[in-house]
Every structure is written in C-alpha cells, then in structure tokens.
C-alpha cells in the first residue's frame, strides 16, 4: 500500500535537511580547518599557515551558504509561494551572493571573473 505524502511536507523535510547539512558542513569545516591550522602552526609557525587557514575556513562557509540558499529556495517556492516570500528570498540571495563573492576574493586574492584572464596569462608565460 502506497502512502501519499503531500509535496509541501516533502519540501519542508528537504529544507530542514539542507539547513542541517549546512550547519554540519560549516561546523565540520571550522573544526577541521582549525585542527589542521593548529597542527601546522605548531610545526611551522602561525604566520606561514594563517592564509591557508582562512582559505579553508572560507571554502567551508561557501559550501554552507550554498546549501542554505537551496533550503531557502525550496521554502520560498514550494512551501510559501507568496510575493512577500519571493521578495525576502531575493534579498537573501543577493546578500548571500555578495558574501560568496567576498569570500571567494578573500580566498583566491582576485575577482572570480579574473580566473580566466589569470589562466590565459599563466598559459602564455608557460609557452614562452
């Protein structure tokens, strides 16, 4: 016998799972990044490993933010598809996109769209 589960309940559960996964990813990334940083700092010093620590921590936060955006999209589109919820979703996506770009610049040291230019410059210098 098949049990029919309303789509709204599936969406609510999926949203909760994504939010929990986001929390877990950020917590795990912070823990692993800190443990690795402390181990390397013990051997090589704080200053030499600080940039790698921030980059690793930033990557974990970026993944967590992406999962949170997915959860918010599901909540806004499936569970509560009103104009107000769509406007809130738009604001959340804009803020999180700004945070993602800021973290990416912090991690890589350049704008995301400069990757292609930097790759071409590296390829040209390798060919010469």
pLDDT digits (tens, 9 = 90+) for 32-52: 999 999 999 888 877 778 888
Q: Is residue 2 part of a domain?
A: no
Over the Cα atoms of the chain, what is R_g?
20
- Measured over the CA atoms of residue 29, residue 93, residue 73 and residue 113, the dihedral's sign is negative
The pLDDT, as a whole number, for residue 26 is 94
For the chain, the average pLDDT equals 84
Q: Which pLDDT score, from 0 to 100, does residue 42 have? A: 87
Element (H, E) at 81: none
Domain that holds residue 66: 8-127
Please state whether the predicted TM-score (pTM) of the whole model is above 0.75.
no
CA distance 55 to 102: 12
Q: 74, exposed or middle or buried, with CB in 10 Å at 0-12, 13-18, 19+?
A: buried
Domain count, the chain: 1
Residue 1, in any domain of the structure: no
């Amino acid at each position: 016998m098949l049990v029919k589960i309303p789509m709204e309940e599936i969406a609510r559960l999926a949203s909760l799972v994504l939010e929990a996964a986001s929390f877990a990813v950020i917590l795990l990334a912070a823990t692993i990044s800190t443990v690795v940083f402390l181990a390397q700092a013990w051997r090589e010093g704080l200053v030499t490993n600080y940039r790698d620590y921030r980059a690793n921590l930033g990557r974990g936060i970026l993944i967590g933010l992406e999962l949170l955006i997915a959860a918010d999209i599901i909540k806004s589109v499936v569970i509560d598809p009103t104009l107000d919820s769509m406007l809130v979703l738009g604001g959340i996506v804009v803020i999180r996109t700004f945070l993602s770009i800021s973290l990416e610049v912090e991690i890589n040291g350049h704008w995301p769209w400069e990757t292609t230019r930097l790759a071409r410059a590296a390829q040209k210098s390798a060919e010469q």
